[in-house]
């Protein structure tokens, strides 16, 4: 029998040894602690030391004797603890919630930081007259990509564009050009104006102010060292009669707003009381000409708008809406693979969109289209809305530049450039985008890559100039030959600019009903995808191409709002006036007649809308005439140097414009008088709309009269200009006669 002291010593030593034991010795540690518990009898102690306890007892001891011990494997015949099963899902949910919270906080912090950074750009370097001037014309995909990637520390940049906002839809996608230029390193000048002449010899650009408010200076000229020409293109009509007068285009922001207004006009007119069935069918027939990505995507979007949204508000008309897509080629979307074309055709068939391939439009009339089908038969297609999306052609200023350069520019499609985007036949001019005639498709993807490439070219040009300056300074300082050779080699490397190479990233198109198609390059082949998943991929690609975080957030919010609440369809006065207001920026004379025609037929439009649109028409006439005055002044200023034919043409243009202006004014006055005579009946016919009082109408008519009188005064000024042109013409004729007479007297028979 061991003494008590020995037993206590054994207990203490066993406990300390168990505490110091490694995890692999935990069963032994539990056994040692278990063995030290009985202290009263020697046999118990001896039994504990010689006979190991059962495994269940060791396991129970292990889990209760030490808080730091890891649990042993469960005994045979017993399952895991149910409490552990309940804890695992809770732990996973807690972990997932924490991850979501961290992600939301991090994303929110990034959005706040990015928004602050974009709204508060840093200080910019001032204008440096010693640096070369780069003039950028236009603000489309090519020029904006150029401005975003340009390091303008070595240049003074000037941007001239008819609109100082970006491309695409209004509000959410519009981004001011100054948003891009304000984030450049050096201050950039941005002018809102319309360029009408580029002189490649003098290296000057002439442009006029096209805003509604005119100052003392409405036209000016600026020089350039480098010119980035990216004015885009205008709609191609192929000279088909009636297209410009009756069709809607998809080129600018106000084109989309005009189409929206026209759609609602067709729907409301078709819903008007007493409308004939044939006229309802015509008004609800929407025709899209052009089977490229623009025409196909618009047909798909139009289907979604008409079938998903308007069907809820006009259930009686929804089934009578008809969408027709006309294409001259055998297939739509010729740039996509055959299987994607077939998928698009089948989707359009499901959506009841009628596709007419191998059909060429011959004439567009006010209410119908005359087209020739594949059987050489002329077929009529009545329409309420006609959208023309058939391609691009050069703008007038581009054609003028081509004529100034001469034989080097002999393409009808656009400007010819070399592999470095330099304009053929001109020095210091780079051209990119839709205004050029290249082997690439006129898409935003091509223009963006050209803009990025051109920004790198300008960076290399700046680096080359810096190296040349360092080389000259090193030569003047008598530097070592090794340093001179190093600088010379650096100049050679900077001069070695690789040519532009287009990398096709794939083609995407939306075809309606939340379906899209994608033709993506994968390794050495192409991946064709279509359906709902491709639709969300198309949207993500669309979001990634926007200019700022603000655009991305607003577009995402618009998509979510449309998905949940549907598209908004209010008939506001601003929308009714959209047509006249946005015509101010186009200056196309034929659309003045279209506006007058619409005013004459739209008896159901409120009086206030009539007055506002007439007011807009007067501003159009004033703007077009004022623009021509600038051109006539230029002709008079250049009188000593211009030829007789040029001056004669300017005079004829002035007289013709004056006659046209007076004719339009007479029509406006007739419309105004007609409106004044019938406005009581119009007021009575208005249902649920804001009624204009007789005094309000008379006041607005008085304002129109004042503006008309001011235009007449300006017309007298035009007459004076025409007289000056006539006088200059007579002087030129007299000078030619004198020269001719002198030649006859000096030449001997």
pLDDT band at 581 (very low <50, low <70, confident <90, very high): very low
Q: In terms of pLDDT, which residue wins out, 550 or 604?
A: 550
pLDDT digits (tens, 9 = 90+) for 329-356: 999 999 899 999 999 999 999 999 999 9
pLDDT digits (tens, 9 = 90+) for 122-163: 788 888 889 999 999 998 889 989 998 998 889 999 999 876
Give the span between the Cα atoms of 4 and 88, in whole angstroms. Answer: 49
Distance of CA 198 to the CA centre of its chain: 26
* Sequence-separated contacts (24+) of 502-508 with Cβ below 8 Å: 502/440, 502/446, 502/449, 503/449, 504/445, 505/445, 507/293, 507/335, 507/336, 508/534, 508/537, 508/538, 508/541
Per-residue pLDDT for 630 more than 70? Answer: no
Give the span between the Cα atoms of 544 and 447, in whole angstroms. Answer: 16
Percent of the chain with pLDDT over 90: 34
Percent of the chain with pLDDT over 70: 62
Contact 451, 430 (CB under 8 A): no
Structure confidence at residue 358 (pLDDT): 94
β-strands 515-522, 525-531: how paired?
antiparallel
| Torsion from C-alpha of 303, 306, 307, 312, nearest 10 degrees | 160
Q: What is the mean pLDDT of the chain?
A: 75
Q: What are phi and psi of 332, to 5 degrees?
A: -85, 160
Tokens representing 127 are 């204008």
Q: In terms of pLDDT, which residue wins out, 400 or 707?
A: 400
Q: In terms of pLDDT, which residue wins out, 500 or 210?
A: 500
Give the span between the Cα atoms of 614 and 600, in whole angstroms. Answer: 11
pLDDT band at 433 (very low <50, low <70, confident <90, very high): very high
Q: What angle do CA 566, 572, 576 make, to 5 degrees?
A: 115
* Sequence-separated contacts (24+) of 547-554 with Cβ below 8 Å: 547/144, 547/148, 547/166, 547/175, 547/179, 547/180, 548/118, 548/175, 548/179, 549/111, 549/114, 549/115, 549/118, 550/115, 550/118, 550/175, 551/172, 551/173, 551/175, 553/111, 554/171, 554/172, 554/173
At the topology level, CATH places domain 133-233+395-482 in FAD/NAD(P)-binding domain (3.50.50)
pLDDT band at 79 (very low <50, low <70, confident <90, very high): low
Task: Please state whether the predicted TM-score (pTM) of the whole model is above 0.75.
Answer: no
Q: What angle do CA 670, 673, 678 make, to 5 degrees?
A: 125
CATH number listed for the domain at residues 243-393+505-569: 3.50.50.100
Tokens representing 348 are 């359009």
Nearest to 310 by CA among 339, 349, 271: 271
CB-based contacts of 72, cutoff 8 Å, min separation 6: 26, 27, 58, 59, 62, 63
pLDDT digits (tens, 9 = 90+) for 513-552: 899 999 998 887 888 999 999 999 998 888 888 777 777 8
SS3 522: strand
Per-residue pLDDT for 295 more than 80? Answer: yes
**Domain boundaries in the chain?**
4-65, 91-120, 133-233+395-482, 243-393+505-569, 581-746
Q: What are phi and psi of 194, to 5 degrees?
A: -110, 120
């Amino acid at each position: 029998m061991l003494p008590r002291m020995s037993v206590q010593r054994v207990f203490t030593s066993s406990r300390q040894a168990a505490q110091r034991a490694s995890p692999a010795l935990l069963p032994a540690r539990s056994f040692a602690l278990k063995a030290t518990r009985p202290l009263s009898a020697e046999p118990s102690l001896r039994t504990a030391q010689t006979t190991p306890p059962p495994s269940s007892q060791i396991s129970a001891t292990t889990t209760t004797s030490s808080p730091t011990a890891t649990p042993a494997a469960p005994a045979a015949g017993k399952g895991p603890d149910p409490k552990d099963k309940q804890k695992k899902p809770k732990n996973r949910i807690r972990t997932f919630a924490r991850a979501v919270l961290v992600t939301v906080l991090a994303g929110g912090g990034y959005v706040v930081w990015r928004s602050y950074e974009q709204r508060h750009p840093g200080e910019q370097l001032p204008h440096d007259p010693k640096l070369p001037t780069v003039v950028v014309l236009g603000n489309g995909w090519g020029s904006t990509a150029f401005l975003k990637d340009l390091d303008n520390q070595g240049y003074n940049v000037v941007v001239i564009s008819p609109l100082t906002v970006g491309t695409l839809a209004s509000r959410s996608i519009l981004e001011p050009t100054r948003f891009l230029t304000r984030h450049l390193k050096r201050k950039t000048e941005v002018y809102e104006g319309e360029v009408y002449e580029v002189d490649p010899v003098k290296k000057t650009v002439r442009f006029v102010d096209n805003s509604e408010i005119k100052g003392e200076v409405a036209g000016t000229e600026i020089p350039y060292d480098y010119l980035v020409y990216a004015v885009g293109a205008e709609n191609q009509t192929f000279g088909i009669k009636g297209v410009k007068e009756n069709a809607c285009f998809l080129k600018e922001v106000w084109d989309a707003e005009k189409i929206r207004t026209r759609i609602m006009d067709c729907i409301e007119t078709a819903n008007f009381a007493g409308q004939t069935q044939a006229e309802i069918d015509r008004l609800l027939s929407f025709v899209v000409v052009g089977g490229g990505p623009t025409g196909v995507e618009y047909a798909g979007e139009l289907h979604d708008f008409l079938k998903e949204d308007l069907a809820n508000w006009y259930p009686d008309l929804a089934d009578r809406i008809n969408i027709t897509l006309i294409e001259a080629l055998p297939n739509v979307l010729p740039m996509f693979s055959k299987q994607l074309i077939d998928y698009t055709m089948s989707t359009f068939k499901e959506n009841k969109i009628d596709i007419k391939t191998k059909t060429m439009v011959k004439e567009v009339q006010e209410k119908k289209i005359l087209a020739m089908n594949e059987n050489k038969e002329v077929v009529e297609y009545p329409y309420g809305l006609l959208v023309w999306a058939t391609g691009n052609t050069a703008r007038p200023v581009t054609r003028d530049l081509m004529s100034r350069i001469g034989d080097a520019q002999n393409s009808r499609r656009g400007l010819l450039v070399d592999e470095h985007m330099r304009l053929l036949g001109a020095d210091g001019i780079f051209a990119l985008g839709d205004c050029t005639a290249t082997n690439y498709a006129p898409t935003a993807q091509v223009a963006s890559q050209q803009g990025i490439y051109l920004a790198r070219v300008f960076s290399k040009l700046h680096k080359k100039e810096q190296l040349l300056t360092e080389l000259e300074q090193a030569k003047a300082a008598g530097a070592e030959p090794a340093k001179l050779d190093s600088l010379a080699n650096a100049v050679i490397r900077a001069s070695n600019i690789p040519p532009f190479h287009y990398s096709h990233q794939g083609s995407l198109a939306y075809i309606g009903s939340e379906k899209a198609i994608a033709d993506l390059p994968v390794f050495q082949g192409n991946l064709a995808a279509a359906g709902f998943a491709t639709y969300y991929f198309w949207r993500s690609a669309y979001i990634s191409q926007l200019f700022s975080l603000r655009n991305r957030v607003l577009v995402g919010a618009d998509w979510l709002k449309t998905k949940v609440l549907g598209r908004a369809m209010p008939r506001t006065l601003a929308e009714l006036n959209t047509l006249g207001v946005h015509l101010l920026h186009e200056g196309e004379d034929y659309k003045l007649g279209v506006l007058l025609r619409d005013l004459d037929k739209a008896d159901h439009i409120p009086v206030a809308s009539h007055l506002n649109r007439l007011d807009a028409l007067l501003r159009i006439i004033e703007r077009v005439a004022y623009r021509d005055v600038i051109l006539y002044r230029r002709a008079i200023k250049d009188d000593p140097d211009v030829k007789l034919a040029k001056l004669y043409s300017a005079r004829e243009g002035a007289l013709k414009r004056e006659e046209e202006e007076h004719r339009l004014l007479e029509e406006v006055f007739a419309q105004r008088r007609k409106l004044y005579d019938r406005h009581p009946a119009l007021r009575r016919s208005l249902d649920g709309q804001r009624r204009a009082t007789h005094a309000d109408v008379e006041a607005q008519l008085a304002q129109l009269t004042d503006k008309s009188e001011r235009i007449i005064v300006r017309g007298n000024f035009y007459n004076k200009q025409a007289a000056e042109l006539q006088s200059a013409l007579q002087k030129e004729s007299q000078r030619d006669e004198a020269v001719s007479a002198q030649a006859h007297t000096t030449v001997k028979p």
